[in-house]
Amino acid sequence: MRPENGGFIHKRFKIQTAEASAQKTGYEIEKAFNKFATEVFICPTNTLTVKMTLKEPGNVTGFALIYHNLTQTSSILFSYFSDSNFSTLIEEKSITYAAKNTFIIYNEAPNTQYIQLDITDPNVTEIKIGCIYPGLAYQFPYNYKFGLETEFHVVKQVDTTDEGIHFETPDEDDNVTAPEYHRYRMNFGDLKHQYFHEYCELIKPGKKVYILKFTEMECYYGIVPDQSLKKVTTRNEDTYSLRFFEDALGGTDD
């Protein structure tokens, strides 16, 4: 498997309890687990600890922070513990910073019910996180043989007046920013039968974190909208494609 291949963090682990060291009223830690990245959790200080107890023990091989406000000076640690008191550390890893969304992937992870997030950032007065995502990492066995199609969308309405004049909303004078998001289509070559069931898992319902390359820190949070795994048969081989739609972000006052 090539390290530059893309993939997903999916099959998000269900959380039994989550306890934050501090939280702002109206922006409690539960918002980081409600699957809506724009409904953010806010810690009113620049130091945060989140202790998470999974509903069942599991191997969290992928962990992502979505729609955060951290800066390059931040320290982000992800830890596994063996007990409910979070006193016996199994393993601790540092998460590399990336703007807006960031993640960490493990080839192997301990089987445990207790995980912890620790953040310190001296350049912010409060810490904001849209989504905390503990899940399973999946890397494509090979990459996009027929290319990766990328679209950047801005959510706006374009209309025409009776006089034939085009206008769009929101307008730059409306003092708001329109939501924006990415869409991707991944085009693969022949899928060997041994990998077919793995790709079928990716189209099952649920929010996912799409990683463009495991060697880079670019990732997005959203859905795979396909209800079937599309196959195109050519003279030489069968080809497949998957789509991914990022959750729209933005839509706030300037």
The answer to whether the pTM exceeds 0.85 is yes
Do residues 105 and 162 both lie within one domain? Answer: no
Do residues 133 and 176 both lie within one domain? Answer: no
Do residues 133 and 167 both lie within one domain? Answer: no
171-225 confidence digits (pLDDT tens):
766 666 778 889 999 888 766 767 888 888 999 999 999 999 888 899 999 999 9
Do residues 154 and 194 both lie within one domain? Answer: yes
Do residues 241 and 120 both lie within one domain? Answer: no
Do residues 122 and 177 both lie within one domain? Answer: no
Q: Are strands 7-10 and 230-233 parallel, antiparallel or unpaired?
A: unpaired
> Which of 142, 150, 151, 132 is CA-nearest to residue 207?
132
pLDDT class for 254, splitting at 50, 70, 90? very low
* Burial of residue 127, with CB atoms counted within 10 A of its CB: 0-12 exposed, 13-18 middle, 19 or more buried: buried
Do residues 63 and 134 both lie within one domain? Answer: yes
> Which residue segment(s) compose the domain that 34 sits in?
7-139
At 66 the pLDDT is: 96
> Which of 196, 206, 198, 202 is CA-nearest to residue 231?
196
Q: Two tokens at 12?
A: 């998000």
At 2 the pLDDT is: 63
Residue 253 lies in a domain: no
Q: What is the 3-state secondary structure (H, E, C) of the chain?
A: CCCCCCEEEECCCCEEEEEECCCECCECHHHHHCCCCCCCEEECCCEEEEEEEEEEEEECCEEEEECCCCCCCCEEEEEEECCCCCCCEEEEEECCCCCCCEEEECCCCCEEEEEEEEEECCCCCCEEECEEEEEEEEECCCCCCCCEEEEEEECCEEEECCCCCEEEECCHHHCECCCEEEEEEEEECCCCHHHHHHHHHHCCCCCEEEECCCCCCCEEEEECCCCCCEEEECCCCEEEEEEEEECCECCCEC
117-154 confidence digits (pLDDT tens):
999 999 999 999 999 999 999 998 877 777 788 888 88
6-64 confidence digits (pLDDT tens):
999 999 999 999 999 999 999 999 999 998 888 899 999 999 999 999 999 999 999 99
Do residues 98 and 186 both lie within one domain? Answer: no
Do residues 11 and 116 both lie within one domain? Answer: yes
